[in-house]
Amino acid sequence: MKFFLSHGQDDRRYAASLAAEIERRGGTVWRDAALSPGSSWEDGLRKAIECSDAMILVLPQTGASGANFAVFEAGAAKALGKKVFVVAPNADGRDLPVNIADVAIFDAANKPLDEVVGALIRYAS
């Protein structure tokens, strides 16, 4: 499975761990670090989403830097017909969004990473 992984700066460490676990299980993960300096972000993101089987959005905390951009990427993935999986590592009892149509939402707070990744791979297949 090829995943496009979107996350905010505050969730960079969690996203890296998530990507490493997916890759350990044989999946492929595209991250924004794959864009080269001077390249068009818009073109690079679109191509990466198009080449992916599904998108994983690490849900940013309310008010986090880059939160709107991450949700925008999820909308772009939906528009391109991709499955979107929302992983909420910091849900902390807050309401999870239900306004992104036809997505699977994973409350990952206090759950082992391998359990979260296992569920993502099962749903994406």
Which ranges in 1-125 belong to alpha helices (H)? 12-24, 41-51, 67-79, 113-124
Q: How confident is the model at residue 32 (pLDDT cuts 50, 70, 90)?
A: low
Please give the model's pTM, rounded to 2 decimal places: 0.77
Q: What is the pLDDT of residue 43?
A: 76
Q: Give the DSSP letter of residue 109.
A: T
The answer on pLDDT for 24 being more than 90 is yes
Write out the residue range of the structural domain in which residue 16 sits: 2-124
Alpha-carbon distance values, 23 to 6, 39, 65 (Å): 16, 25, 27
- How many structural domains are present in the chain? 1
Report d(CA 102, CA 14) in Å as an integer.
24
Kindly report the CATH number assigned to the domain that includes residue 74: 3.40.50.10140
Q: What is the pLDDT of residue 92?
A: 57
The answer on pLDDT for 26 being more than 90 is yes
